[in-house]
Amino acid sequence: LLPWLDTSRVRSMRYRPIARQFFVIFAVVCFALGWCGGQNPGRILFKVAPFSATMNWVTGGQVTERSIRATSESEWQQAADAAVAELRSQGAGMTAVTREGATSGRITGVIGGNQQTRVVSGDTSELLEEHITEVKQEVGPATPFFAVERSSPARFTVTNFSLLLTFYYFLFFLVILPVLGLRERPERVPDTIAKPVTQGAS
């Protein structure tokens, strides 16, 4: 099927400079696809910013803990939100909900105390988690729990790169070759050995 996708009357890329450029790109794409196949799909090639997280906790406050019961599994979120709102109204600066079953769980809140905030960052998500763990170990039992808000930057991974390369791979065969064969004006092709032979025979 592939030979019929090239609609040019001249098959040799030697006399088709534009087609030759697209073919060189195609060869590079094939090499890059092979490289992508040997990499971790989630490997980050570049990103616009580091991974970051904002950690909040309260020290020196009064810790209160209560149970949460919902009448049904579908009403769990509503019951949890109501428990959080109740603790907030009593002055809790931070709350954490732990679900223990389909309709049951516990809520922990810290009333009063001093709220602390720290921002940590890392070049990779694994390094960010290490920094978060370091802060938790540093603070230790001074707080019952942490509120962590992670932020992932826009990034370009091996998967994104391979998708882009695959797009050009099929574009070359299905669009570039058929259209370029109709639009490109090839260079003059030298006479073949058949022409002088046939002229001499006549």
Task: Read off the pLDDT band of 178 (50, 70, 90).
Answer: confident
pLDDT of residue 3: 64
pLDDT of residue 112: 86
pLDDT of residue 190: 67
Average pLDDT over every residue of 115-132:
92
Average pLDDT over every residue of 177-190:
79
Q: Which residue reads 């428990």 in tokens?
A: 83
pLDDT of residue 186: 76
Average pLDDT over every residue of 151-157:
93
Domain ranges of the chain: 2-40+157-187, 51-153
- What are the tokens at 120? 């940590």
| Cα 5 to Cα 14: distance, rounded to the nearest angstrom | 18
Task: Read off the pLDDT band of 73 (50, 70, 90).
Answer: very high
| Cα 174 to Cα 142: distance, rounded to the nearest angstrom | 64
Q: Which residue reads 């826009």 in tokens?
A: 154
Alpha-helical (H) ranges within 65-146 are 76-89, 125-139
pLDDT of residue 196: 56
Average pLDDT over every residue of 57-77:
91
Mean pLDDT of the chain: 87
| Cα 120 to Cα 50: distance, rounded to the nearest angstrom | 10
Write the single-letter amino acid at 14.
R
pLDDT of residue 19: 86
pLDDT of residue 195: 58
Residue 51 DSSP symbol: E
Task: Read off the pLDDT band of 113 (50, 70, 90).
Answer: confident
Q: Which of 85-94, 135-144, 183-192 has the lowest mean pLDDT?
A: 183-192
pLDDT at 85 > cutoff 80:
yes
Share of the chain above pLDDT 70, in %: 91
Share of the chain above pLDDT 90, in %: 56
Average pLDDT over every residue of 139-164:
91
| Cα 20 to Cα 13: distance, rounded to the nearest angstrom | 5
Average pLDDT over every residue of 52-63:
90
Write the single-letter amino acid at 3.
P
pLDDT at 16 > cutoff 80:
yes
